[in-house]
A and B are shown apart, each in its own frame.
Chain A
Amino acid sequence: MKRTYLGEFEEIVLLTVAVLNDAAYGVAITDELDRQTGRSVSISAVHAALHRLEEKGMLKSHMGDATAERGGRRKRLFTVTALGSRALHDIRAMRDQLWNSISPNALPAISI
């Protein structure tokens, strides 16, 4: 299997794009990340990650509508490509496989 290089942050951003479905753009992704993970990330970091993911072919984008609060500027809306979807699934499968391989008492208990 060809390995997919995806950083942790990239993975989260990619997942967030999938969560937001048709409304994934810079500000929305940043807010969603904040809401879901409690991480306060800078917008430029999100942009950089999106840019990188698009270069890797895991995201595609098109220009959306302009709104007044954006000063009449359009937003760039992202959607996950097949390759992106594949990468997410691969990661998930690999994690599941690993989880399944852990013997029940191997991990110390973290709650009563």
Chain B
Amino acid sequence: MNAQPPHWANRLLEWFCAPHLLEEVQGDLHERFERNSTRLGVKLARRQYAREVVSFLRPFALKRQPNQYPSIPLFSTDMFQNYLKIALRNLARNKAYSAINIIGLSIGLAAAMLIMLYTKDEVSYDRFHAHNPFIYRITSKSVTPAGIVANQQPYTGIFPGPKFQAGVPEITTFVRYQENQKDLKQGNEVKSQTVHFADSSFFSIFSFPLLSGDPKTALKSPKSVVISEELAEKNFGTTNALGKILFFKDDDKFEPYTVTGVAKKCPQNSSIKFDVLMPMMVKAEDMADNENWFSVFMNTFVILSPNANLKTVEAKMNQVYVADARESIKSVAKKFGITDKTVYSLQPFTDMHLSKELPASNGLVDESNPTFSYILSGIALFILLIACINFVNLTVARSLKRAKEIGVRKAVGGARGQLIMQFLGESFLLCFAAFLFAIVLIELALPTFNQLANKALSLSYLFDAKLVVGYLILFIVTSLLSGFYPALVLSGYNPVQTLYSRFNLSGKNYLQKSLVVLQFTLASFLIIASLTIYSQFNYLTSKDLGYDDKNLVVIDKSNLKRSEVKLLKEELLKDQNIVDVAPKNGGFWGTVAKINGETQLSFAYETVNETYLPLFKIPVLKGRNFSTAFPSDSSQSVLVNETFVKKAGWKNPLGQVVDFWFKNEKYHVIGVVKDHHFASLSQEIKPQLFTMKAANEYGKAFIKIRPTTETASLQHIEKVFKKLFPLTPYSYKFLDQENLKRYESEAKWKQMMLFGAILTIFISCIGLFGLATLSAERRTKEIGIRKVLGASVTGIVQLLSTDFLKLVSLSFIFAFPAAWYAMDEWLKNYPYRINLSVWVFLATAFIAISIAFVTVSWQSLRAAMINPIKSLKTE
């Protein structure tokens, strides 16, 4: 055989050269190649050939000859009318198919739009302030001597705000913001009201408009208060409340506060939401106490000048801190043995809402986990994808019916571009119908969604330019995604074949099959996820906590004195429904002490009395409980839990010394308490220590009541409480309900996943239903012949269903490993968790297969039941 010029060069030439020039050009090149290969050798000739091909990359060779026929306009009104008519007729004729497509797509679109709404709201948090990009929160981190960041601290004390402003010129203003509870008198009622203290600069930094009052002076003088319009309405029946008086309790006495401003309701997407705002009053002696650098309990925000460099500002802040706090850094380090260094930094105000490390808490609200947004977007994408797959699959599968139409169109001169336009247009039309439907769906689903996502979104949010553009893009992308492939396939049919009725579509059809597998992979994944989350949730809520939280009423009373406890108990026990009363410190306390001489151990620090452990039925494993028989218990003895003993490494815990060296107090362990989940199950059990130390205040009381006596007991408790503490607001909680509340986020996940799983499986199934219908239709004759030859109904159902069921089973191969991995990762968040069991996977397989089987067999059964005479007669 003769030597050939390089293949790639030939291909390249054929690709770029204008068709009408190709023959002569290629011929000339070949001729020269032939001559060169005898003259110069094949190798050089090939190289020369390639060079010459490349040299033909010139405009004249690239330019195509104008078509000798007039080009057909892609948009012509006449054709457009025809397309519309045909599309509408097709939709009307195949109602089931249209319904499947529209329902599927609208659910998918609605899900995607809802999530866009959600994410838009999430990222819009705190962006409405006029000073927006320049507002920062002062945060800090402790760095160990080794340079490792031990923890990050979003809060600050009273110093950083004023001192940094004084020392760093770039910081123009600051505001400190602190949450507190104050008792508010309304008529004869006393109510505990959340209030916020803020510096007078509050309204100059944040853009919260006042309905009345002067934002500059509203928080200047003590005993003034700015209230929300809602609170004004509630207290005075009008928002015109300027100058009116509210009574708040300060140190056991109700004091009059003058309303100096009424603020408009805080926007929904604000981390700062207040009802009552009071001027922050810092005492001079507190400002003088340099150790207050280390007392950290509130948020401080600053405004930087627009051209400030963040790094330099942070560096200057730390210089100010080190210079100002030098003495107390030393003294505190000595006193508490602290070796960590504090480093101040700034966090952009708009970053708080979605920050995991430095969340918007401690008086700020709505802190949010970005993972939640990601997962939601993932689910929405899944749903939309599955709906698009339905569209592609059904359109391609249905194309046999339209093959003749395509053939005729091509025969009378329809160009491929026109056909593509036609089919794309049809998908746009369907998508548009789905889009309208989706908006209705959103309107219906918003209340439920708001509740699940803890939001107050409304449809009116939609009329936001960015969001509308987003939706339009979504609409176009969906239309293209679902319409492009079918349009390409359908328009590519050969008219001769289609018109000759020798057209065979029942090929391998790998695309359709793999799309079905993809759909069910996604659906199975979500089923597994929701089953796992369900069982983990059940586990969390039903796991034995190690104590009895049934029939326990919790009442809060700050600064509950020992004598008051005694009185309360006596009074309460007068009713026989009350079993016992045990006081405890309010909130969670933690502290650190030395054990085994020098080792420091941090632990939960519980101030209780001798009734506490018996009341909760927490067993004492070694030693004894506190007892009134030993008066020295309150000053010398503590109890610890098993984890404490383990961490301390004690073989014989009884009699060991716990040394609170910074207070110069030493206690002896008199008993070991069985480990119990005093905190949420999402945390590991930590070391815990019980004391009766007289100087520690109690903050709440647990009241054990007899079962089923809730109403009577609560009435009695309220009566006693109001009699004993008339000035303290009364509120009660049931401990078991409180414990359940800890798992609210899991409950939300559970519901979200469940919704996602149901929607995906639903859309997948209607798609499968459509495919089964079409395949049954296509095989009508075959089924007729089989029946005539003696096939049974079961046999035929089996024949029609197995193909689909195989695909569904195949999807498990992909879904199971992915789901196993994802769920395993998720479960790692929980120290106390279920094991991923085989049963979850088996159950998923069962659910998916049975749902798919029911869907498919319904159609198969119908096809199999048809009288063969009828089916054979159809033409």
Contact = CB atoms under 8 A, between A and B. Distances in A.
A52 to B, nearest CB: 7
Nearest to B51: A42
B24 interface: yes
A51 B62 CA distance: 12
Interface in B556-606: none
Nearest to A67: B31
B52 interface: yes
A19 interface: no
A44 B58 CA distance: 8
B61 A44 contact: yes
B53 to A, nearest CB: 9
Interface residues of B, number: 19
A26 B55 contact: no
A70 B58 contact: no
Interface residues of A, number: 22
Interface string A19-53: 00000011100100000000000111101100110
Central interface residue in A42, A73, A74, A76, by most chain B CB within 10 Å: A73
A49 B336 CA distance: 93
B24 A26 contact: yes
A73 B29 CA distance: 11
A44 B31 CA distance: 14
A51 to B, nearest CB: 5
Given A67-B31, A73-B30, A47 B23 contact: no
A48 B60 contact: yes
B27 A43 contact: no
B212 interface: no
A71 interface: yes
Contact of B34 (A45, A69, A75): A69
Given A44-B52, A70-B27, A27 B60 contact: no
Contacts of B28: 25-27, 43, 47, 70, 75
Interface in A2-33: 25-27, 30
A44 B17 CA distance: 12
Contacts of B26: 71, 73
A73 B60 contact: no
A71 B60 contact: no
A43 B54 CA distance: 11
**Contact residues of B: prevailing secondary structure:** helix
B55 A27 contact: no
A71 B25 CA distance: 12
B32 interface: yes
B56 A47 contact: yes
Most buried by B among A48, A70, A76: A70
Contact of A25 (B24, B29, B55, B60): B24
A44 B55 contact: yes
A70 B30 contact: yes
A69 B31 contact: yes
A7 to B, nearest CB: 14
A43 B30 contact: no
Contacts of B31: 27, 67, 69-70
B60 A47 contact: yes
A59 B35 CA distance: 27
Contacts of B23: 63, 73-74
Contact of B60 (A26, A30, A43, A52): A52
A51 B63 CA distance: 12
A27 B29 CA distance: 8
Interface string A54-83: 000000000100110111011110000000
Contacts of B25: 26, 47
A47 B35 CA distance: 19
A59 to B, nearest CB: 13
Max chain A CB contacts within 10 Å: which of B28, B32, B35? B28
Contacts of B55: 42-45
A25 B28 CA distance: 8
Contacts of A70: 27-28, 30-31
Contacts of A69: 30-31, 34-35
Nearest to B58: A48
A71 B24 CA distance: 11
B60 A42 contact: no
A18 B21 CA distance: 22
Contact of B52 (A43, A51, A52, A71): A43
A47 B13 CA distance: 14
A41 to B, nearest CB: 11
Contacts of B24: 25-26, 47, 63, 73-76
23 contacts: A26-B28, A27-B28, A27-B31, A27-B32, A30-B32, A42-B52, A43-B29, A43-B32, A44-B52, A44-B55, A44-B56, A44-B58, A44-B61, A47-B24, A48-B58, A51-B60, A52-B60, A66-B27, A69-B35, A70-B27, A71-B26, A71-B27, A75-B28
**Which 4 residue pairs of A and B lie closest in terms of their CB atoms, listed nearest first?**
A73-B27, A26-B28, A70-B27, A76-B24
Interface of A: 25-27, 30, 42-45, 47-48, 51-52, 63, 66-67, 69-71, 73-76
Given A69-B31, A73-B26, 10 more contacts: A43-B55, A44-B56, A52-B60, A63-B23, A66-B27, A71-B26, A73-B27, A74-B23, A75-B28, A76-B24
